[in-house]
Amino acid sequence: MTRKLNSFLDNVTQIISIFIGSWTGVLFHIIWFFLWLVNHLDINLLTLIVSLEAIFICIFLLMAANKEESQRRLTLAKQKKRNDQRMDFDIKLDQKADRQLTEIKRLQKELHAEVSQLCQHLNGRKKP
């Protein structure tokens, strides 16, 4: 149940952050302040409400930023793990290629020695 509640609250936080950080949010506040002042409502009450709203907006924006930072860290951790796996694979591939090249060099040396012996044998036959 807690997980669903947290998920719901995260969604509410995200929606509020998106609204506050949009032109719709700006226009809403302009209209709200205009109507409040035009109707000559208590300016002290407006000041209290706006102060409380500012506190809660800051909290919601910080919560949204923390959520994004957590997601960014999780993404970076997954990316690091994939990079580490690729690096391990590359190292193993390089080691295998090194072993294969060493084997090819060994075979080349053996072949060179056999060809040299064959040439010596053939050259020795031609002389008599």
State pLDDT tens for residues 61-98. 999 899 899 999 999 999 999 999 999 999 999 999 99
Average pLDDT over residues 94-105: 96
Measured CA to CA, the distance from residue 56 to residue 64 in angstroms comes to: 12
> Is it the case that residue 30 has pLDDT exceeding 90?
yes
Task: Give the pLDDT of residue 9.
Answer: 87
Average pLDDT over residues 36-61: 93
Average pLDDT over residues 25-37: 93
- The domains of the chain are located at 2-126
Measured CA to CA, the distance from residue 13 to residue 5 in angstroms comes to: 12
Measured CA to CA, the distance from residue 76 to residue 65 in angstroms comes to: 16
> Is it the case that residue 126 has pLDDT exceeding 70?
no
> Is it the case that residue 127 has pLDDT exceeding 90?
no
Task: Give the pLDDT of residue 6.
Answer: 80
**pTM value?**
0.60
Res. 35 pLDDT band, cuts 50 70 90: very high
Cα of first residue to Cα of last residue in the chain, in angstroms, is: 101
Measured CA to CA, the distance from residue 117 to residue 73 in angstroms comes to: 65
Average pLDDT over residues 16-42: 92
Mean pLDDT computed over every residue of the chain: 91
